[in-house]
Structure 1
Amino acid sequence: MHSEPTEIFESLLTSNHRLTRMAAQSTGSTVSAGVWSTLSVLNADGPRRNGELAKAARISQPGMTKLLSNLIDDEWVYRIADVDDSRAWLIAITDKGRDALFGWRTQLAEATKDIFGDLSDTEWATLGRAAEILASRVGVTEVAA
């Protein structure tokens, strides 16, 4: 049992990372984690400049430029003029990109059924409350449509 806040958060972060990797691998998807990270940032935070988006998604700026080219071709994101700087562009998520992101999240959740299928109602309630607490502390307000 973890008793110190640092131990609790270390366990949460490590377990979440492992769970996400396990779920992603089980889907068989070849879409990179960078794509989902980028779409998640845009969905949660709104349009961003390339450099800001690269930093938020933890991708190099050259890597982000290449990734955005593919996302624009796939119509998952689009460029809009930056009203604060006419030389710059902002990147925004499209409805198609949002649908892809929410579809991916559903796939990840479905992939965890075998791991969590035997939880009791009490355990589900505990996880539900923990998810609410985490979401409120990190500013998660987005909900799948």
Structure 2
Amino acid sequence: MQSTEALTEIITAAYRLARVVAQEAGSTTPTAQWRALTVLEESGPMRVGALAAACRVTQPGMTRLVELMAAAGLVEKRPDPADARAAVIQITDSGSAARRAWIDTVGEVLAPKFAGLSDEDWAAIRTTAALLNARTDLMNGAE
């Protein structure tokens, strides 16, 4: 298998895992919400356009999602210190707690599916995750 094919397989498997977790957890929360909260948690406050680009959704779609998340208390809009006419979106403590609860749910749903893995299998998964994280951090300009 070519290296790019292996990466494509990983992406496909990750999407499948996300669908399985959402279905088995009975979640109706859009995946974009978890992505947005994760981006805000990891990168800090940002404008709606930047958040939309980071989450790969349209700006109007992110604007609607931000309004829903703000109404739920998961994020808040604050004036942009660099431009008083603009706003930045910031995750709230409730948003961080909701994100952590979802991560716990993901673990609970997936645990039985992976219970039989060997130590070597877990090591391979950890290594793969570390490699992917390191390479994507480099793609985003971080080191």
TM-score, normalization by structure 2 = 0.88
Picking from 63, 66, 70, the partner of 2:64 is: 66
Match of 1:37 among 35, 38, 42: 35
CA-based RMSD: 1.6
CA contact (8 A) 2:70 2:76 kept: yes
Q: CA deviation at 1:126?
A: 1.5
The equivalent position to 1:121 in structure 2, one of 119, 122, 133, is 119
Cα deviation, residue 58, structure 1: 2.0
Distance in 2 (CA, whole Å) between partners of 1:87 and 1:98 is 27
Give the unaligned 5+ runs of structure 2. Answer: 139-143
Residue 130 in 1 paired to residue 128 in 2?
Answer: yes
Aligned to 1:75: 73
Which amino acid counterpart does residue 92 of structure 1 have in structure 2?
Q
C-alpha displacement at 1:59, in angstroms?
A: 2.1
- Runs of 4+ deviating beyond 6 Å: none
User: In 2, distance between residues paired with 1:104 and 1:139?
Assistant: 23
**Following the alignment from structure 1 to structure 2, what is the Cα–Cα distance between the partners of residues 60 and 133?**
29
Per the normalisation by structure 1, the TM-score is 0.87
Q: Size of the alignment, in residue pairs?
A: 138
Alignment correspondent of 2:103 = 105
Instruction: Give the partner amino acid of 2:52.
Output: A
